[in-house]
């Protein structure tokens, strides 16, 4: 096509004339975060994630390979087009080396593809779509904290092992919920439990009473919510209202619950509920040390994705240092080669498909009596090993793992 030479010239001109400020030359190492800063997800990600990345840079010392490290962030307003156009700008004009988080799985997947096109790195911390390390896996992307497969599998296995073997699902009625439930059902069955019923609820339904009544009239001993966000909050709140899971022989299990949601619900409402998380601030000395520093800056404790931003940014910077170059392929190779040991993860490693392999924890939400104060919410019930939690290599749909086999 004859357009090509003109295009190239124009593109160069475009870059040169771009009115967007290029703060530092290419002589800086830059990490970027595409966050929902003011919308629905601003609590679970937003400024908290940006702060975590900044803390990592500060703790690393502010420079690597003799170059300053910079954190840039943008409010993607939950719009895929904004996220992708900023990602392009960052890569082309501002020489951002790695994007270390993006809200919304659709935006994240699109940004991940741009990272491949521009040969940069992408680390996903907030989104849980299993696609990142399956159908859409690529050599430039790392999925760091969790995915819905791991949450469903860990919760399913650990709860059955703890005696909860008859499951009833309350599932949000679209792909996300259907997949979530299917994964959990498999895990429950693999441990000898059974699914005795399920009910679909529409997204943003608000009222869960009819689903809860159906769950209550079954003889399930575990009622699991394959939902997210506000839906989970409403379902938990109304379960408490119906007296389910509090003082009877049923347990509630939330498949995807952030600590911010428990904080917003209050312990009186959420007590007794089971959930899986990759991180809790009050696990040991190290987690407390980081979290208290974070608390001083943000006024709240970090959740698993925010802690993950810190850990993954730190791991990235260490890999740059170890590789002795900015070259993205070399850095990625180092990231996959080096084990990860910090407050966030012990003996973690990044698999060839980009999946960070780590243990997951099953928590039970404390009752108001058990809690000593704000953010003292969880009690650890079980640990699920990385191999137990995440998609095994044999089931992976990622071409990178297939090549390896």
Identify residues 221-260 at the interface with another protein (CB under 8 A). 230, 233-234, 237-238, 240-243, 258, 260
* Shortest Cβ 240–another protein spacing (Å): 8
Q: Using the rule CB under 8 A, which residue among 55, 145, 159, 201 binds another protein?
A: 201
Cβ-based burial of 182 (10 A; exposed 0-12, middle 13-18, buried ≥19): middle
For residue 218, give the DSSP letter: S
Beta strands per DSSP E along 117-201: 121-124, 141-143, 166-172, 194-201
For residue 309, what are the CA distances in angstroms to 34, 268, 390? 12, 30, 20
405 is a site residue for another protein (CB under 8 A): no
Phi, psi for residue 309 in degrees, rounded to 5: -60, -45
In the region spanning residues 100 to 139, those forming contacts with another protein, defined by CB under 8 A, are: 104-106, 109-110, 113, 129, 131, 136
**Rounded-to-integer distance, Cα 166 and Cα 171, Å:** 16
Give the x-and-dash track for 7-46 against another protein (CB under 8 A): x--xx-xx--xxx-----------------xxxxxxxx--
182 is a site residue for another protein (CB under 8 A): no
Q: Using the rule CB under 8 A, which residue among 61, 68, 266, 339 binds another protein?
A: 266
211 is a site residue for another protein (CB under 8 A): yes
b (16+ CB within 10 A) / e for 144-164: bbbbbbbbbbbbbbbbbbeeb
Give the x-and-dash track for 274-313 against another protein (CB under 8 A): ----------------------------------------
In the region spanning residues 57 to 86, those forming contacts with another protein, defined by CB under 8 A, are: 74-82, 84-86
218 is a site residue for another protein (CB under 8 A): no
Closest CA to 224 of 204, 248, 260, 195: 195
Half-sphere CA count of 132, side-chain side, radius 13 A: 35
Q: Given the complex with another protein, which of 84 and 251 has the nearer CB atom?
A: 84
In the region spanning residues 341 to 400, those forming contacts with another protein, defined by CB under 8 A, are: none
b (16+ CB within 10 A) / e for 296-323: eebebbbbbbbbbbbbbbbbbbbbbbeb
* Shortest Cβ 362–another protein spacing (Å): 22
Query: Total binding residues for another protein by CB under 8 A?
Result: 79
Q: Given the complex with another protein, which of 160 and 236 has the nearer CB atom?
A: 236
């Amino acid at each position: 096509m004859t357009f090509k030479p003109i295009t190239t010239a124009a593109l160069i001109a475009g870059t040169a004339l771009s009115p967007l400020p290029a703060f530092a030359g290419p002589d800086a190492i830059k990490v970027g975060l595409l966050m929902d800063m003011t919308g629905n997800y601003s609590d679970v990600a937003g400024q908290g994630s940006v702060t975590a990345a900044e803390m990592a840079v500060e703790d690393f010392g502010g420079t690597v390979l003799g170059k300053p490290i910079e954190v840039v962030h943008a409010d993607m307003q939950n719009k895929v087009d904004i996220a992708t156009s900023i990602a392009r700008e960052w890569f082309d004009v501002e020489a951002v080396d790695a994007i270390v988080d993006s809200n919304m799985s659709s935006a994240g997947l699109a940004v991940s593809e741009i990272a491949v096109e521009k040969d940069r790195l992408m680390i996903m911390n907030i989104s849980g779509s299993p696609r990142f390390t399956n159908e859409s896996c690529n050599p430039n992307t790392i999925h760091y904290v969790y995915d819905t497969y791991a949450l469903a599998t860990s919760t399913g296995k650990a709860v059955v092992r703890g005696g909860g073997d008859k499951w009833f699902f309350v599932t949000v009625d679209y792909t996300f919920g259907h997949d979530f439930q299917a994964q959990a059902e498999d895990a429950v069955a693999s441990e000898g439990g059974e699914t005795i019923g399920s009910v679909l609820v529409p997204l943003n339904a608000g009222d869960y009473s009819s689903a809860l009544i159906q769950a209550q009239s079954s003889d399930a001993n575990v009622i699991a919510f394959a939902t997210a966000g506000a839906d989970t909050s409403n379902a938990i709140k109304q379960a408490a209202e119906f007296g389910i899971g509090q003082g009877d022989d049923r347990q509630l299990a939330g498949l995807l619950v952030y600590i911010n949601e428990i904080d917003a619900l209050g312990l009186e409402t959420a007590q007794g509920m089971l959930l899986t998380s990759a991180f809790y601030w009050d696990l040991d000395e190290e987690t407390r040390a980081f979290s208290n520093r974070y608390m001083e800056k943000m006024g709240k404790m970090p959740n698993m994705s925010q802690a993950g931003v810190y850990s993954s940014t730190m791991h990235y910077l260490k890999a740059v240092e170890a590789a002795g170059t900015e070259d993205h392929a070399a850095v990625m190779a180092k990231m996959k080669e080096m084990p990860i040991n910090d407050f966030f993860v012990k003996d973690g490693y990044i698999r060839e498909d980009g999946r960070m392999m780590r243990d997951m924890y099953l928590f039970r939400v404390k009752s108001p009596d058990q809690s000593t104060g704000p953010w003292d919410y969880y009690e650890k019930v079980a640990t699920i090993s990385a191999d137990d939690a995440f998609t095994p290599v044999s089931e992976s749909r990622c071409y990178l793992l297939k090549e390896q086999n």
